[in-house]
């Protein structure tokens, strides 16, 4: 089955710096890669996702890159702000609704002002 590794487990940056979180997956059949953000005491929410037919996707300060050959994908946050502080989870699955997401163990991002 699919296995997702996520690094680093914790990340501290200064406000305005960039943050990068990396994930690797094992199942070459996976073709859907979402990122969820979970603020303290709140539920996880989707922030961005990427499908295997593209190599990069951007949404304002957030971007995700995918390298299918190497089976890794990364989340990039630019111009970080204190409200970006949260736990970020990457996941992998087949691009079909009804398929379970296999999550990484999460990265705790702390942005200090």
Question: Residues in the site for other proteins, rule: CB under 8 A?
Answer: 4, 6, 32, 34, 36, 42-46, 49, 51, 89, 91, 93-106
Phi-psi region of 47 (alpha: psi -120 to 50; beta: other; left: phi over 0): alpha
From 24, 38, 28, 39, select the one nearest 91 (Cα to Cα).
24
If the CB atoms of residues 77 and 90 are measured against other proteins, the closer one turns out to be 90
Query: Are the beta carbons of 42 and 32 closer than 8 angstroms?
Result: no
If the CB atoms of residues 19 and 92 are measured against other proteins, the closer one turns out to be 92
If the CB atoms of residues 70 and 97 are measured against other proteins, the closer one turns out to be 97
Q: How near is the Cβ of 68 to other proteins at its closest, in Å?
A: 16
Give me the count of residues in the chain. 113
């Amino acid at each position: 089955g699919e296995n997702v590794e996520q690094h680093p487990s914790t990340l501290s940056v200064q406000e305005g710096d960039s943050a990068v979180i990396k994930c690797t997956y094992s199942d070459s059949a996976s073709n859907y890669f979402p990122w969820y953000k979970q603020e303290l005491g709140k539920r996880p929410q989707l922030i961005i996702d990427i499908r295997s037919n593209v190599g990069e996707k951007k949404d304002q300060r957030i971007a995700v890159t995918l390298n299918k050959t190497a089976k890794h994908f990364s989340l990039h946050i630019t111009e970080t702000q204190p409200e970006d502080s949260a736990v970020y989870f990457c996941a992998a699955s087949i691009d079909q609704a009804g398929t379970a997401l296999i999550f990484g163990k999460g990265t705790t991002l702390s942005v200090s002002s």
